[in-house]
Structure 1
Amino acid sequence: MDSTLGNQKLYDRDFIEWCEVTVSQLKERNFEHLDIEGLIEEIEGLAKRDKRELKNRLTVLLAHLLKRIYVESPENFNGWELTIREQRRQIQGLLNDSPSLKPYLREVLDTVYRDALDDVRFEYQKTEFPDSWELNFDSTALLSENYWEEQ
């Protein structure tokens, strides 16, 4: 049996073992036996995973920014600000690890804002939130400014 075909079956049968075999083959420069299709699928999946994580963290960040700016609930301010700090830290880490995600961040901001807006409008139905982000939407500002201090 062709070992490449065997690696493809291993990929479906035992992912961890497939990873170990693939790493071993790469270290040994044994390229002819690599499961190229499996490698392509995994590398594409890594990029999608990081994009998905960025979108999810941005949604949480924007939702908490909206709450902190527009919801008058001082007893919750500290918790919201802690969440804002953590999401900013994690987003900055993603951008530091993969600077090519920065254009993607700008690309998805409108979609992410709509998702965050939908969440906070559901949670705080008596609070008026703007239909569009009215403050500085630059990624640097988004990851650093305390917008609520400007109100």
Structure 2
Amino acid sequence: MGTSYEKDVVAWANEQAALLRAGKFSALDIEHIAEEIEDVGKSEQRELASRMAVLLAHLLKWQCQPERRGASWQTTLRIQRAAIVRRLNKTPSLQPMLGDAEWISDMWGDARQQAAAEMQIGVALLPESCPWSMTQVLDEGFLPD
């Protein structure tokens, strides 16, 4: 094998792809290929989680700071919702996460931290659990009062 996985993952990935295309299966670094495939799935999950936390944080800010509501917050809500829906459409296996109470709790915790920091308030002032359903959160017309 040319480049080691630990030394340069990009060069390693290119070499592995070339070996696959050439049908040189015995030369493949199977263990690291399996890890990288798993990491692709984890990356998709992280992107969904990140976007959901941003969306939830902005919904919290919208609810808690009505005097600061504006076009930029609406734009962020629209962009995050569209990106989440796109991600779910492209990767339907992520859909069950929206019904996973532990996952929602994690995203809510991240959103609370982000919103509290941006609003410069204590996180304890924000609801401990998400007050909205995921259907509401993703509904482009939904804005909490």
Which TM-score band applies after superposition, normalised by the shorter structure? 0.7 to 0.9
User: What TM-score do the two structures reach when normalised by structure 1?
Assistant: 0.79
1:101 maps to which of 65, 84, 94: 94
CA distance in 2, matches of 1:83, 1:57: 10
Identity %: 34
Length, aligned pairs only:
141
Partner letter of residue 44 of structure 1? E
Partner letter of residue 36 of structure 1? I
CA distance in 2, matches of 1:92, 1:101: 11
Structure 2: where are the runs of 5+ without partners?
A: none
Confirm whether residue 111 of structure 1 aligns to residue 91 of structure 2: no
1:73 maps to which of 56, 67, 70: 67
Please state whether the residue corresponding to 2:70 is helix, strand or coil. Answer: helix
CA contact (8 A) 2:78 2:140 kept: no
Confirm whether residue 28 of structure 1 aligns to residue 22 of structure 2: yes
Give the direction of change, closer, same or farther, for the CA distance of 1:17–1:120 in structure 2 (3 Å limit): closer
CA distance in 2, matches of 1:103, 1:49: 16
Q: 1:49-104 deviations in whole A, cap 9, x for unaligned?
A: 11111111111000001111231224x42111111111112211221221101112
CA-CA distance at 1:141 after TM superposition = 3.0
Please state whether the residue corresponding to 2:44 is helix, strand or coil. Answer: helix
Map of 1:147 onto structure 2: 142
Map of 1:39 onto structure 2: 33
Greater radius of gyration (CA): 1
Map of 2:57 onto structure 1: 63
CA distance in 1, matches of 2:23, 2:70: 55
Structure 1: where are the runs of 5+ without partners?
A: 1-5
Please state whether the residue corresponding to 2:66 is helix, strand or coil. Answer: coil
Partner letter of residue 8 of structure 2? D
User: What TM-score do the two structures reach when normalised by structure 2?
Assistant: 0.82
CA distance in 2, matches of 1:130, 1:21: 50
CA contact (8 A) 2:53 2:108 kept: yes
Q: Output aligned runs, 1:14-25, within 5 Å.
A: 14-25=8-19
Please state whether the residue corresponding to 1:87 is helix, strand or coil. Answer: helix
Partner letter of residue 92 of structure 2? P
Q: Aligned Cα RMSD in Å?
A: 2.3
CA distance in 2, matches of 1:38, 1:141: 40
